[in-house]
Amino acid sequence: MLQGKTVVLGVSGGIAAYKAVELLRLLTKAGAEVHVVMTKSAREFVTPLTFQTLSGNPVHTDLFNLYQEQEIGHIALADRADLFILAPATANLIGKIAQGLADDLLTTSVMATKAPVLVVPAMNSNMYENPLYQRNEKLLIEYGYHLLEPDSGELACGWEGKGKLPDPEQILAAAKSALSPKDLLGCQLLVTAGPTREEIDPVRYLSNYSSGKMGYAIAAMARRRGASVTLVSGPTSLRVPAGVKCNQVSSAEEMRAAVLEVAAGADVIIKAAAVADYRPVSRSGQKLKKTGDEMVLELEKNPDILAELGADKGELILVGFAAETERLLAHAAEKLKKKNLDLIVANDITREGAGFNVDTNIVRFLYADGKVEELGLMSKEQVAERLLDQVAELWKAKRR
């Protein structure tokens, strides 16, 4: 979402200005060209040289400084920006923008831009709760500004409360959301992710190598595109994407129950989880001890959640995944037809960059009409974006 985009990062005068340095690093790592604008107060907390070194661009501070072929500074910044981020945004900065005041380079640039503006407040909790500030915040939202709420916790002033600048990773996600198309607005979307665990005894279980990264990427991207997203996740170490409702489960039966609970209200279900096909017939209440050279473990079949959904899906759009080691297209096509899917995402996990626990994937989309689309090596976020392009088209067609 940020590759090749121009981001103007506005830094105002608060102790949280130091976190903007890490945000700048994340933005440039994501492929954005970043131009930093600092208020006079911000320069009391972090030097412009720090931001200039990391961005590779001069830091803008002076309203009356002409640069680059005599362009007027605030107009040039406003025109070139694909996105403005104000982080940290103080109560003073938010108040001035809400009232239409423009008395420095940052406020005049925001006033002149037609790019989306992401406002990330950071201040003392009493200031945040002040009704005058709350009025200004509501005004910005009414005017179409994107606002990321501050976190709660211990503040730099020693107070406990709401007003902390969110983690830079959260701000980065909000920036991507601000640039994403909202073609899934109003869509109720359910995603499953991760492995399941089928317990043998209190210390052992059957599972697989799924990390959940693909499903979490889909959930995050769908939320950015406006969908109301529920994520049903097996055990992972991943952070739940901002704005996504998550139900944590362990076994296949728990996942089935969680999925069926919300499936009736869903417009789209994307089953990216790697659900165990079998479970032990019985679970020992105590740790099993070695009793000989061999142990026989009796298994029984788990419920097929995807087939159950496909059997009576009505207007539901249903997407499955097929992770294979051989005969990729044949196995995926069989699963697509047998489980009554609209689309299946197939990948050969033996290929480098396409298996479990990596950040990339190599997939093919197989459609119900027989069409096959092959994608090259991509990040899982890019695969999620391409998949949701197709889902959005299917959803629009269903609505028509």
Cα 98 to Cα 119: distance, rounded to the nearest angstrom: 11
Q: Do both 41 and 136 map to the same domain?
A: yes
Q: Do both 262 and 336 map to the same domain?
A: yes
Per-residue model confidence (pLDDT) at position 294: 86
134 to 2, 92, 98: CA distances (angstroms):
30, 12, 11
- 68 pLDDT more than 50: no
Residue 288 lies in a domain: no
CATH number for position 387: 3.40.50.10300
Q: Do both 207 and 162 map to the same domain?
A: no
Residue where one domain finishes, among candidates 129, 162, 179: 179
Residue where one domain finishes, among candidates 133, 151, 179: 179
CATH number for position 105: 3.40.50.1950
Q: Do both 173 and 195 map to the same domain?
A: no
What average pLDDT score do residues 188-203 get? 96
Collapsing DSSP to helix, strand or coil, 149 comes out as: coil
Q: Do both 171 and 200 map to the same domain?
A: no
Q: Do both 163 and 14 map to the same domain?
A: yes
DSSP state of 113: -
Highest average pLDDT, of 102-106, 189-193, 296-300, 349-353, comes from 189-193
What average pLDDT score do residues 316-338 get? 94
Residue where one domain finishes, among candidates 113, 148, 179: 179
Q: Do both 175 and 200 map to the same domain?
A: no
Per-residue model confidence (pLDDT) at position 75: 75
Q: Which listed residue (157, 297, 311, 330) is catalytic?
A: 157
One-character DSSP codes across 335-371: HHHHTT-SEEEEEETTSTTSSTTSSEE--EEEETTS-
The answer to whether 157 is a known catalytic residue is: yes
What average pLDDT score do residues 267-285 get? 95
Q: Do both 251 and 369 map to the same domain?
A: yes
How many domains, in total, are found in the chain? Answer: 2
Q: pLDDT-derived band of residue 395, with 50, 70 and 90 as boundaries?
A: very high
- 364 pLDDT more than 50: yes
Q: Do both 116 and 195 map to the same domain?
A: no
Range of the domain at 234: 188-277+297-399
Residues with Cβ within 8 Å of residue 77, at least 6 apart in sequence:
8, 35, 37, 60, 105, 109, 113
Residue 292 lies in a domain: no
Q: Do both 346 and 395 map to the same domain?
A: yes
Rounded to the nearest 5°, which phi and psi values hold at 247? -110, 115
What average pLDDT score do residues 71-83 get? 76
Q: Do both 19 and 163 map to the same domain?
A: yes
Q: pLDDT-derived band of residue 70, with 50, 70 and 90 as boundaries?
A: very low
Per-residue model confidence (pLDDT) at position 357: 81
Summarised one tens digit per residue, pLDDT across range 131-188 is 999 999 999 999 999 999 998 877 776 777 787 899 999 999 899 989 988 999 999 9
